[in-house]
Amino acid sequence: MVLSVPCVFNKYGKKIGKNFQRVGIDFRTILIPDGEDQKTERSLFFILKKMAQHGLQRDSTLITLGGGVVGDLGGLAASLYMRGINFIQCPTTLLAQVDAGIGGKTAIDFVGIKNLIGTFYQPKLVLIDPLVLKSLDRRQYRTGLAEIIKYGVIQDEKLFKKIENQTENILRREPKILISLISRSCEIKAKIISEDERENGKRAWLNYGHTLGHALESYFKYKTLTHGEAISYGMLFAAQLSRRMNMCSEEVVQRQSQLLRKIGLFRKLPRFNSEMVFKKMFLDKKSRRGQIQFILTRKIGLVTIQKNIPQSIILSALKQFQIDASGLF
Ligand SMILES: NC(=O)c1ccc[n+]([C@@H]2O[C@H](COP(=O)([O-])OP(=O)(O)OC[C@H]3O[C@@H](n4cnc5c(N)ncnc54)[C@H](O)[C@@H]3O)[C@@H](O)[C@H]2O)c1
Ligand SMILES: [Zn+2]
């Protein structure tokens, strides 16, 4: 069973269908409407119902073809149907190729909370074709690049440097450089997760830039900034906070800021109420027992988890960040 959205299936689904027919594999498709707002129990049960109506068995396979929305929904459906059937991810956005498609987290939003219901369910295979990225719109493409920059900051200075040196080729979406960036990103994420699948320790590194990033996305009701743009500001803030805590040099902050700017990830940031954004950071699922947990940079390629940062420092850093960020666009 192939799960997709119409715009992706129309471009790439037919080819998959032809190949299946050629080797005699029997398959069906389920299409759901496009959009972030599809991660609902309604879509989930629609998919499960289709799976049942088409008579999927325990040895059947669900293949998701699309971005993170299709991957998260399909993964959840595959993990629930008959207590779990085979699942293959074919992520078609850069974000899904380097992030959502790897790691086995599945989810729908519930009672207004993002990703509240989900399972850990690993796909049997993640099949990535960088050529499908040609049809992705500019902002979506750059959103994925933000996650790749994040991998550089948390684990791999060489990767970071490669993005600095080859920005033009990357923005031109040259397959050769894309293959190297995507495979390295998957390797980093897979390694971290294989050591800490349930986020008790280093999986939290992957959250670099996401504490403020999620708060900003939610403050602006997911309309103003893409995820990648929000976490770019989040990474800048985390770097500035690391500097304030004397954990890194000013150069570490500048390199991140310059690269994110060069890639075009700093979209105009409307004024926000620092106190409200600060409160939202506390509501983040990942803050534990009333403490905001921050991932801070020591240098490019090395981060640490920091739990006890005084609230006054975070709040004054946030106020300063707002002033600095307004001059970046
Ligand atoms: N499971 C995880 O670990 C994890 C990690 C990060 C994000 N996510 C989830 O992923 C979702 C975001 O993923 P996304 O950014 O891929 O969003 P998305 O799935 O909505 O895709 C973005 C848009 O790109 C279109 N698209 C997809 N592939 C295309 C292609 N090749 N050419 C042209 N258009 C294409 C889609 O139809 C959609 O309109 C969020 O719901 C987020 O919660 C999950
Ligand atoms: Zn992210």
Indicate which ligand has the atom closest to the C-alpha of 9: 1
- For residue 286, the SS3 value is coil
Taking residues 184-211, report their average pLDDT. Answer: 91
Taking residues 22-47, report their average pLDDT. Answer: 96
pLDDT band at residue 201 under the 50/70/90 scheme: confident
How confident is the model over 238-275, as pLDDT tens digits?
999 999 999 999 999 999 999 999 999 999 999 999 99
> How far does the centroid of ligand 1 lie from the alpha carbon of residue 93, in Å?
6
Please say if the pLDDT value at position 146 is more than 90.
yes
* C-alpha torsion sign, points 242, 248, 250, 253: negative
Residue nearest atom 9 of ligand 1, based on CA coordinates: 68
* Spatial CA neighbour of 64 closest among 29, 104, 20: 29
Catalytic pick among 114, 199, 244, 299: 199
Q: Is 203 among the catalytic positions?
A: yes
Beta partners for 87?
Answer: 62
Taking residues 36-44, report their average pLDDT. Answer: 97
Residues contacting ligand 1 via CB (< 6 Å): 5, 7-8, 34, 36, 39, 66-70, 72, 92-93, 95-96, 99-100, 103, 105, 115, 132, 135-136, 140
Please say if the pLDDT value at position 224 is more than 70.
yes
Q: What is the mean pLDDT of the chain?
A: 94
In order of their start, the domains of the chain are 2-134 (3.40.50.1970), 138-326 (1.20.1090.10)
Phi-psi region of 58 (alpha: psi -120 to 50; beta: other; left: phi over 0): alpha
Taking residues 176-180, report their average pLDDT. Answer: 97
Taking residues 97-123, report their average pLDDT. Answer: 95
Tokens of 107: 């989810």
Q: Is 83 among the catalytic positions?
A: yes
3-state secondary structure 259-285: HHHHHCCCCCCCCCCHHHHHHHHHHCC
Provide the percentage of residues in the chain whose pLDDT is more than 90.
88
> For residue 158, what pLDDT is reported?
98
Residue 159 and residue 184 in contact, taking contact as beta carbons nearer than 8 Å: yes
How confident is the model over 272-321, as pLDDT tens digits?
999 999 999 987 666 666 678 899 999 999 999 998 899 999 999 999 99
Please say if the pLDDT value at position 98 is more than 70.
yes
Q: Is 227 among the catalytic positions?
A: yes
> How far does the centroid of ligand 2 lie from the alpha carbon of residue 49, in Å?
30
> For residue 199, what pLDDT is reported?
72
